[in-house]
Chain A
Amino acid sequence: MRKSINQINQRIREGNARVVTAEEMPDIVADLGEEGALKEVDVVTTGTFGAMCSSGAFLNFGHAEPPIRMEKIWLNDVEAYGGLAAVDAYIGATQQSTTREEQYGGAHVIEDLVAGKAVEMRAISRGTDCYPRRTITTELLLENLNQAIMCNPRNAYQRYNAAINTTDRTLHTYMGTLLPNCGNISFSGAGLLNPISNDPKLRLIGSGVPIFLCGAPGMVVGEGTQHSPAGGFGTLMVTGDLKKMSQDFLRAATMFGYGVTLYVGLGVPLPVIDTDVVRATAVRDEDITVDLLDYGVPSRNRPVLRKVNYSELRSGSVSLNGEEVRTSSLSSFRRARIVADSLKDWIEKGKMELCLPTQPINPTKQVRPMHETVKGPRVLDIMDRNVVSIGEEEEIKGAARRLLKGETNHLPVINREGRLVGIVTTFDVSKAVANPGKARLVRDIMKKKVITTTPDEAVDNAVRKLEQHNISALPVVDTQNHVVAMLTAIDLGKLFGGRWLK
């Protein structure tokens, strides 16, 4: 059996379409079987409500008198992109205020507009013969704009990897606060309610398909940026009328220590046209698996600690190496459910009809990393290969001499095998000399916990280590923990005036 989209729309118009949410669907399919569910259910609604950084809106302000060709534009001190003719702008959600930094940003401007608050617009221009005006400042309400069209390049990630932190300090990331030593797990996503997880082959979701976007009827534009459904990470580009949106489904937020983002409520209704749709919409939380990544490693390729599914993540704790680690979500499942329920209500009341994509989205695409032609500086480009080190069994006096002779402030300490076991600084040696006690050997005063770098590491990563630990030198070690060079604050000076300065 098959149902046509016209049959389904006919039932919607007549007010007797059977609409269920993607949360209700798995049990219905278990009860009635696939054919039974196909007969029974006409539409499955999905929903998600979470941080979607890649969001924003096109605004048209209308012309002033005398007119201005706005080149640089600020809304409540948040810069909006003005490279779009004279009186258009794009306000991006993550752009931060020039005065209030992460406390206020593009997302807040958008929420304030939707909430009916006045927003101060400032713009400047060079002035032209046709647009003589050079500056303008005015207060605007959403209703004063000709158009306010939300257009989000990347929303509704199919799923998202969970985050954990194995380092010994708290991390502030776009995945929220990650406590040290695997203290918590942070995750995001609506699991079985997620739109693309209910249509992973993208048979129903594509260009032109109607959606729920922040409380307003919206539409799928097409694939989102970084769309990567081959690995289970499809995304959507979506649009909708900001003037019809509601604060209930659109919230500005700040990830502490990271920046501003926008919480977006988004749902896609899926017409149940055949048993393939039934099977896809019967997906449960336990069927959707993501990687648990160590955000303690600041790399594109973060280590995977284990696989974990949404059922485990939503249970409140996940076991890792025999210990239970508490989980919490950044996205709101309760609001995702309200999105799916609202969409269900719209369709039951005949307020939204469905359609199939006017253009399909590629379901096999795989995202590629950035093509980098100019590598940033690595530690090996600036490190000092002239290493002055000391053995752990030498006397402190020897260390003092070595420091003087080597004109350095840091001595890596090596054992008999030539491997790094500690570090002593001028401060450590001076302290030992000024307060003579039992300590006689370098071993007795050295710091055993040494922060190191490697020749291949990006200088930016090494600099963060120096800052975080409030130190001024890093031994550069090879894979066998032999010290091959030192990286000090002085070496960083080579970045200026050298070939890295452009």
Chain B
Amino acid sequence: MKLLVNFSRGKGRKPIIAQVVRDTGVLISVERAVIDSSEGEALIDVPDDQCELVRDTMTKLGANVRILEHGVSLNESECVDCGACISICPREVFSFDPGLKLLLSEERCIICGKCVEACPHHALTVQV
């Protein structure tokens, strides 16, 4: 399950992710992160059965955590199956089926949003 974690680095500068790994023993995989001097956002992946534990522990440490149920989604009525998204995606979410229809492996998506702007037909969206 993927969690989107937002935290402010205003006071204390707690190493939130490291602390949660230590306290809960859950192995967190950081899929992408943007952290600057005042705030940070990280997309993390944790085992499904431990995602609430991780969320609650992080929330207690002052982070804002949202469980992301969905990755990128495709509007089939707009998609023309060109495949412009295929080479843009860093995680190979997109591929063609044998009939050259676009296939999505949503579970691989790290919600980076690159495909959303690259799609000429505005057929892709991600929840933010």
Contacts and interface: CB of A to CB of B under 8 A. Distances in A.
Interface of A: 49-51, 176-177, 179, 183-186, 251, 253-257, 261, 263, 316, 326-335, 337
Contacts of A50: 82
B100 A251 contact: no
A254 B114 CA distance: 15
A49 B117 CA distance: 21
Secondary structure at the B interface, as helix, strand, loop or mixed, is loop
A253 B82 CA distance: 12
> On chain B, which size bracket covers the interface?
10 to 19
Contact of A261 (B101, B117, B120): B120
Contact of A330 (B82, B100, B117): B82
A335 B81 contact: yes
B99 interface: yes
Interface in B61-94: 80-88
Contacts of A328: 82-88
A334 B86 contact: no
14 contacts: A176-B120, A186-B87, A251-B121, A255-B120, A256-B117, A327-B86, A328-B86, A329-B82, A330-B120, A332-B100, A333-B81, A333-B100, A334-B81, A335-B80
B101 A334 contact: yes
Contacts of A337: 100
Given A334-B99, A334-B100, A337-B100, A251 B80 contact: yes
A205 B83 CA distance: 29
A176 B84 contact: yes
Given A50-B82, A51-B120, A334-B101, 18 more contacts: A49-B80, A176-B84, A177-B114, A177-B117, A186-B87, A253-B120, A255-B120, A256-B117, A263-B120, A263-B121, A316-B86, A326-B86, A328-B83, A329-B82, A329-B83, A330-B120, A332-B80, A332-B82
Secondary structure at the A interface, as helix, strand, loop or mixed, is strand
Contacts of A257: 117
Contact of A254 (B83, B86, B100, B122): B122
Contacts of B80: 49, 251, 263, 332, 335
Contacts of B88: 177, 179, 184, 328
A251 B83 CA distance: 15
B118 interface: yes
A50 B114 CA distance: 21
B100 A256 contact: no
A327 B81 contact: no
B65 to A, nearest CB: 30
Contacts of A331: 82
A136 B87 CA distance: 47
A181 B99 CA distance: 32
Given A334-B81, A334-B101, A337-B100, A327 B87 contact: yes
Nearest to A336: B100
A185 B82 contact: no
A331 B121 CA distance: 11
Contact of B84 (A49, A179, A329, A334): A329
A49 B88 CA distance: 21
A298 B100 CA distance: 33
B20 to A, nearest CB: 33
A185 B86 CA distance: 10
Contacts of B114: 177
A177 B117 CA distance: 9
Nearest to B77: A247
